[in-house]
Structure 1
Amino acid sequence: MPIPEDVSGEEIDKDVRQELQSLPKTLAEDVARNLVMVARLIDEDPEQAYGYSRVALRLASRVAAVREAAGFAAYATQQYSEALAEFRAARRMSGGVELWPVMADCERGMGRPERALAMAGETEVQKLDKAGQVEMRLVAAGARRDMGQVDAAIVTLQSPELASNAVQPWTARLRYAYADALLAADRESEAREWFARAVEADKDGSTDASDRLAELDGVEFVDALVDEADADADPSADAGGGTDTDTERKDAGSDDDAGDAGGSGVRHPVGDASEATSHGSPGADRDGDQGADQDGGKV
């Protein structure tokens, strides 16, 4: 697969670069460049990212970072069985536990929420850092919802991290998942409060909390481009308002609007981590849970 000339391979994480030192220099450079492409494309074009991950895997299947990147690329394309196999291989090679939450979310993606829930109770969870433990909590809550246990999901998400006013990298997704679970339990006023709190923490727009909040408030968005097209098509329409109502335009809709409506819910594994979730990259819209965070590995 073609790689842009501006990609040197030096962009990769220093720990990954160290792992690649076990390879011949030219081979290490080729692998590094493919890993950079995985990281670049995994969000905007996961299929392409997956292709580059397969190239890296063919070149260096015994490098843990390569197996991890291949796992995230498979996860992003909803190939959860393959992703789980790659994550397990990476974990065997590295001996670390940081992939435990996303491995559990793969179980969710494969329709086995009970296994994900069992993993949430294993001793590996205690070895995770704070971010990893929050991811595991998100996955466990998502598994509860997969099993129809909405109230249990709400309880699972209640934690010191949720109650804290401090904003951490996981705060927006945790608040979003809690709000979505409350809404699923028909606790709309509480859900609105937590969607608002998610918006406050979501500085980079990683969730669609603002859209969900507007929806609860009854706000309707009208595409300005559609309005202009309507005006051009009917120049005789009264400028004062003889055109279709906003509601009628919304009902008419467009394919583009339909595609945007889902947002990223984050949309996510683990999951949601989803809501990672029908099963999109657990990480996204699986019942609104935010799923495991997906970053393409340490690239």
Structure 2
Amino acid sequence: MRRLPIDEDVTGEELDKDVKQELMSLPKTLAEDVARNLVMVARLLDEEPEQAYAYAKVALRLASRVPSVREAAGFAAYGVQKYSEALAEFRAARRMTGLQHLWPVMADCERGLGRPEKALAMAGEPEVHKLDKAGQVEMRLVAAGARRDMGQPDAAVVTLQSPELASNSIQPWTARLRYAYADALLEVGRQDEAREWFAKALEADQGGLTDASDRLAELDGVEFIDALDEEAEDFEAGEVDEAAAGETESKD
């Protein structure tokens, strides 16, 4: 089996205690190897999804009967838009644990596979009531996305209207929920309201999860000039001036 290089600072101890508990079912050396690969998946998932996927495949070959490994493999496949594979891994993890926390991302895989009707049906299943608040908000976001996929933008707006959206309390999901609502409003032509909600999303977005600031600027007609491009233009202008000066000197 081909192994991938592990960053020197990775020990495997970085994992959540529940994941480490699951890995205790494996022989010690194998558990350590799997743990390090899982840490690499988490480390690379956002910025280098293809690499994260490669590490997830290694972990999966080593320990396919560990629920956390199947879940990590699902998210890695999801990150590279392999939605069928991701859905299979999420279903496997769910069967192993009996937990429902993966239900929203499973529904989003259905959207990725071009089946928004299935995703919307999942939003109405009893499993949703077993989700925590974050999971229920995520399910609402997926359902609104499914409505938009189906050409029902007004229904998407209504789907996102909820106590969580109306709340002034800032939660981990607040920025994304407000952003999705603003984007849905914009699609149905309610530009002033959309601008207001993009501003609210930006206010809640402490971690830079959205591009709400760019969307606000776009609505306000603000155009950003890349500093590097500006320098290049100045350099080119300087070259033109020098060339013109040279021509003048040659004529003299």
TM-score (norm 1): 0.79
Q: Is the 8 A contact 1:231 1:237 kept in 2?
A: no
Matching residue of 1:219: 222
The count of residues paired between Structure 1 and Structure 2 equals 238
Matching residue of 1:181: 184
Query: Among the aligned pairs, what percent are the same residue?
Result: 79
Q: Is the 8 A contact 1:50 1:73 kept in 2?
A: yes
Matching residue of 1:143: 146
**Structure 2 Cα separation of the partners of residues 156 and 10 of structure 1:** 41
* Runs of 4+ deviating beyond 4 Å: none
**Structure 1 Cα separation of the partners of residues 61 and 239 of structure 2:** 64
**Structure 1 Cα separation of the partners of residues 171 and 9 of structure 2:** 33
Runs of 5+ unmatched residues, structure 1: 239-299
Matching residue of 1:53: 56
Q: How is 1:151-230 mapped onto 2 (pairs within 5 angstroms)?
A: 151-230=154-233
**Structure 1 Cα separation of the partners of residues 184 and 17 of structure 2:** 39
Matching residue of 1:100: 103
TM-score (norm 2): 0.93
Matching residue of 1:248: none
**Structure 1 Cα separation of the partners of residues 25 and 63 of structure 2:** 10
Matching residue of 1:19: 22
Task: Give the one of 93, 104, 112 matched to 1:109.
Answer: 112
- 3-state SS of paired residue (2:172): coil
- 3-state SS of paired residue (1:235): helix
Partner AA of 1:55 in structure 2: V
Partner AA of 1:79 in structure 2: K
**Structure 2 Cα separation of the partners of residues 229 and 64 of structure 1:** 52
Partner AA of 1:26 in structure 2: T
Task: Give the one of 32, 38, 41 matched to 1:38.
Answer: 41
Matching residue of 2:244: none
- 3-state SS of paired residue (2:238): coil
Partner AA of 1:216 in structure 2: L
Deviations 1:219-251 (A, max 9, x none): 00001111111111221779xxxxxxxxxxxxx
Runs of 5+ unmatched residues, structure 2: 242-252
**Structure 2 Cα separation of the partners of residues 180 and 4 of structure 1:** 39
Matching residue of 1:233: 236
Task: Give the one of 59, 65, 70 matched to 1:67.
Answer: 70
Largest Rg, 1 or 2 = 2
Partner AA of 1:66 in structure 2: V
Higher relative contact order (CA 8 A, sep 6+): 1
Partner AA of 1:173 in structure 2: R
Structure 1 residue 5: deviation in Å? 2.0
Aligned CA-pair RMSD:
0.9
